[in-house]
């Protein structure tokens, strides 16, 4: 009787232990992380090393539009698989930044085996201090906290038009431009926006027929709103779109005594926007200058 009772207790304990392990395995996308997280190496990291699935890498490279002319930086590059796959599949140059020197050694060996060591580079460094300004694409599989801490650095150092792809974790208040779903997890994608905020002015014509335009833009990441004043008359901007350094917006036709809307397109270059205004079937150039003191940071 006692023996049977003890066997039942052992069986129950085994079931509970198995259930616990399975719940942990489902919490982490890759179960090998369970063994790694208890090692001394893992405690030095901002996030435990968990391998990114191949199908996720393929989607990240595709959706981010990685091509042979890109320079891809993988932050927290682990064993180097994203860097290596990017170089192998697209021909781009790629850099892996990883704080764990042992993983960097593994990455270099893997790159040599894959035949791409001439197009990749692995650096033992802190992702928060390494300069990222060279990158045209950045990939990240870390944690939500790390992503949010990285956000100001990414917006500050990456050029407008650079692309960012993350797996599982987003960037908090910075809404993604696109999302790909893999069962219970997602990959998120952004295009780094130019800073369009502030007060802009430009003129058309001279003398009494001249027109003075003033524009004030407010910006939260890639979302822009504002108004334009023409010779002192204010008009709200319509359908503002900002992608990288390209901006587009509409004004109602009565802004220039026309029946059709005015469509403004342009490129932001520092404190200058230069582009064209389309009205009916005509096109004309516009060039606006910003007061630098009126510009606001993208990530406050």
pLDDT tens figures, 168-212: 999 999 999 999 999 889 999 999 999 999 999 999 888 777 889
From 142, 88, 78, 70, select the one nearest 108 (Cα to Cα): 78
Report domain extents, the chain.
Answer: 2-29, 41-191, 198-294
Fold of the 198-294 domain: Lipocalin (2.40.128)
Summarize the confidence of residues 228-241 as an average pLDDT.
93
Three-state DSSP class for residue 56? helix
Q: pLDDT at residue 52 above 50?
A: yes
What is the Cα–Cα distance from 143 to 167, expressed in whole angstroms?
A: 9
pTM value? 0.83
Summarize the confidence of residues 77-104 as an average pLDDT.
97
Three-state DSSP class for residue 33? helix
Which of 16-20, 161-165, 233-237, 261-265 has maximum average pLDDT? 161-165
Say which residue the tokens 């002015």 belong to: 201
Summarize the confidence of residues 118-130 as an average pLDDT.
97
Phi, psi of 272 (to 5 degrees): -130, 140
Which residues are registered as beta bridge partners of 48?
none
Q: Identical fold at 41-191 and 198-294? A: no
Give the angle subtended at the CA of 212 by the CAs of 210 and 213, to the nearest 5°: 140
Report the CATH architecture of 41-191. Answer: 3-Layer(aba) Sandwich (3.40)
């Amino acid at each position: 009787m006692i023996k049977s009772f003890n066997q039942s207790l052992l069986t129950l304990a085994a079931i509970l232990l198995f259930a616990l392990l399975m719940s942990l395995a489902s919490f982490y996308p890759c179960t090998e992380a369970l063994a790694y997280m208890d090692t001394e190496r893992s405690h030095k990291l901002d996030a435990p090393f968990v391998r990114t699935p191949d199908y996720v890498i393929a989607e990240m490279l595709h959706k981010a539009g990685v091509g042979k002319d890109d320079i891809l930086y993988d932050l927290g590059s682990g064993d180097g698989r994203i860097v290596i796959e990017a170089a192998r599949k697209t021909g781009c140059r790629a850099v892996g930044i990883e704080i764990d020197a042992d993983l960097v050694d593994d990455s270099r060996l893997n790159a040599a085996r894959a035949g791409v060591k001439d197009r990749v580079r692995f650096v033992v460094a802190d992702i928060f201090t390494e300069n990222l300004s060279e990158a045209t694409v950045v990939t990240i599989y870390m944690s939500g906290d790390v992503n949010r801490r990285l956000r100001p650095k990414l917006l500050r150092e990456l050029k407008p038009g650079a692309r960012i792809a993350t797996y599982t974790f987003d960037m908090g208040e910075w809404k993604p431009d696109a999302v790909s779903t893999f069962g219970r997890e997602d990959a998120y994608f952004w295009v780094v926006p130019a800073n369009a905020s502030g007060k802009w002015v430009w003129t058309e014509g001279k003398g009494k027929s001249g027109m003075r335009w003033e524009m004030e833009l407010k910006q939260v990441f890639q979302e822009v709103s504002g108004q334009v004043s023409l010779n002192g008359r204010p008009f709200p901007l319509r359908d503002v779109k900002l992608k990288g350094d390209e901006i587009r917006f509409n004004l109602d036709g009565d802004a220039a005594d026309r029946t059709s809307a005015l469509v403004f397109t342009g490129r932001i270059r520092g404190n200058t926007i230069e582009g064209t205004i389309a009205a009916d079937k005509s096109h004309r150039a516009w060039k606006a200058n910003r007061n630098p003191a009126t510009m606001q940071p993208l990530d406050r």
